[in-house]
Structure 1
């Protein structure tokens, strides 16, 4: 009974099955909304940083936010876990329902995960959870404001990273882009672990003896890079190519920029860790 109920609410509910990405039916689904949201986020973060910079010297250590960051981390860990399970079950349901069609095009499940057939529309179970992932990106933006308020520090990498990931998740839906299923699976499981760890340490429990979050993010970027190579290979080999490959190329450029910035940050973090006396 429990398994059937979970399966219904995650894959067979009419809202999920009949989902369709459309400017008239989906909230936050227009280009104007995306541009307004990204610019508002950047302006608000920079403004907050400048306002805190002119506070008296005694407040230089930043302000306390109490339990808010811990509650945010717990919420994000839960949402990420739900999206992971939802899109995993929905992908299994889509594979079950369309396997007969794949035999004609000689498409395997692995190929479908990385490469949607040309002509795919942003509707149905998988795209419902992709939409949920897109909306959850707005909640991730609060991490920037937490950092500014608590540490009085605004990271250029954080601004670029959060803005780029919001745009990428929008493009996944707008162009029914290939690769998004595996990308969401990898990203949400990583977020569930990272935010769970942040909640763990925020409530005062002992953290890892190494930069846990940094290493998790490095593993995620490595896995996504391998999958990007897989998409390119399938697109070149498969007859007809992959759907939304133009958006995928744009996303690949953004991912490359994020990876380079993160690699620089990762090397810096590792060097500081090694430099500490034992």
Structure 2
């Protein structure tokens, strides 16, 4: 498998280098996503970079959990006067704008981090195993920082679910657990300069492009026939994450060590717990659909019938 990875990496690297020599458009894209001073000179300074303090992280998560609890209770209260009412047309507009933004941001993160990997790292080994003592700076960690902040912005997903109808049925433990904990994973991985974290970022962002495209179409009133593809992509991402974790483990304990092993430990536990919960959710949902429809065309995406929201993955 390693040889296949090396071949794919080398092929893509050669392709990108060729495009950089013949395409002015690609050169411009590369400049703004990799070489721009704000991107190229990025440095993560504990307690100084926006969002880099433990206090910020803790308060952000506590605020999310508190507001989620209070708003969901208020919205599902039996008293009409305690419910926040937003016209369906406005809610759909807000949801469409939200999905469009995250679709665009996910595409930018996937492309920006991919270009950085292929133009700044000499070989795939430097991606799998950062040297011990690696400092989180440069374009790779710029995109890791954007990725971390994007997970905080994704708290809006929860708000939109609460504001939509029948919120109590769809605001699951898996949804809240994922949104609260994935921010911790991103923070630790960024702070410890975790090896292969950019690979996870690219994979996750690419899946989010598919996912938010589906949600955007739902919010516009168009039901795609490929919503099961979203779930399949999510599950493939989970399993690929374990492959990434295994590679880091191998290189860390058979070589001179890899940067961010404590981040690796947290990620392994978190991804395992998320995979267990998601597979349990997917099995129940798929089986339920199969029993109702009798055609085996169930899926693991919880559709809300309005905003197109569903359980998200890490």
TM-score (normalised: structure 2): 0.79
State which of 35, 56, 69 in structure 1 corresponds to 2:95. 69
Write the deviation string for residues 46-98 of structure 1: whole angstroms up to 9, x where unpaired: 100111122447999x8632311121111101000001111111112221xxx
C-alpha deviation, 1:210, in angstroms: 5.2
Equivalent residue for 1:171? Answer: 188
C-alpha deviation, 1:201, in angstroms: 2.2
- Is this contact kept in 1: 2:92–2:219, CA < 8 A? no
- Is this contact kept in 2: 1:168–1:251, CA < 8 A? yes
Does 2:250 correspond to 1:233? yes
Equivalent residue for 1:211? Answer: 228
Equivalent residue for 1:34? Answer: 57
Equivalent residue for 1:106? Answer: none
Equivalent residue for 2:110? Answer: 84
Superposed, 1:244-263 pairs within 5 Å as 244-263=260-279
Aligned residue for 1:54, secondary structure, equals coil
Taking the aligned partners of 2:222 and 2:137, their CA distance within structure 1 comes to: 43
* RMSD of aligned alpha carbons: 2.0
Superposed, 1:1-278 pairs within 5 Å as 1-23=24-46, 25-56=48-79, 64=88, 65-95=91-121, 99=122, 109-150=123-164, 151-153=166-168, 154-208=171-225, 211-237=228-254, 239-277=255-293, 278=295
- Is this contact kept in 2: 1:111–1:234, CA < 8 A? no
Aligned residue for 1:66, secondary structure, equals helix
Write the deviation string for residues 230-263 of structure 1: whole angstroms up to 9, x where unpaired: 22122222x2111110121122111111111111
C-alpha deviation, 1:217, in angstroms: 1.4
Taking the aligned partners of 1:195 and 1:210, their CA distance within structure 2 comes to: 11
- Is this contact kept in 2: 1:114–1:181, CA < 8 A? no
Taking the aligned partners of 1:26 and 1:184, their CA distance within structure 2 comes to: 20
- Is this contact kept in 1: 2:107–2:209, CA < 8 A? yes
- Is this contact kept in 1: 2:103–2:213, CA < 8 A? yes
Taking the aligned partners of 1:47 and 1:24, their CA distance within structure 2 comes to: 30
- Size of the alignment, in residue pairs? 264
C-alpha deviation, 1:169, in angstroms: 0.7
Equivalent residue for 1:104? Answer: none
C-alpha deviation, 1:214, in angstroms: 2.3
Taking the aligned partners of 2:189 and 2:263, their CA distance within structure 1 comes to: 8
- Is this contact kept in 2: 1:137–1:166, CA < 8 A? yes
Aligned residue for 2:72, secondary structure, equals helix
Unaligned runs of 5+ in 1: 100-108
- Is this contact kept in 2: 1:115–1:234, CA < 8 A? yes
Please identify, of 36-45 and 135-144, the stretch whose mean Cα deviation from structure 2 is larger.
135-144
Taking the aligned partners of 1:268 and 1:228, their CA distance within structure 2 comes to: 28
Aligned residue for 1:211, secondary structure, equals helix
- Is this contact kept in 1: 2:92–2:220, CA < 8 A? no
Taking the aligned partners of 2:53 and 2:272, their CA distance within structure 1 comes to: 25
Taking the aligned partners of 1:13 and 1:73, their CA distance within structure 2 comes to: 27
Taking the aligned partners of 2:227 and 2:50, their CA distance within structure 1 comes to: 40
TM-score (normalised: structure 1): 0.89
Taking the aligned partners of 1:145 and 1:220, their CA distance within structure 2 comes to: 25
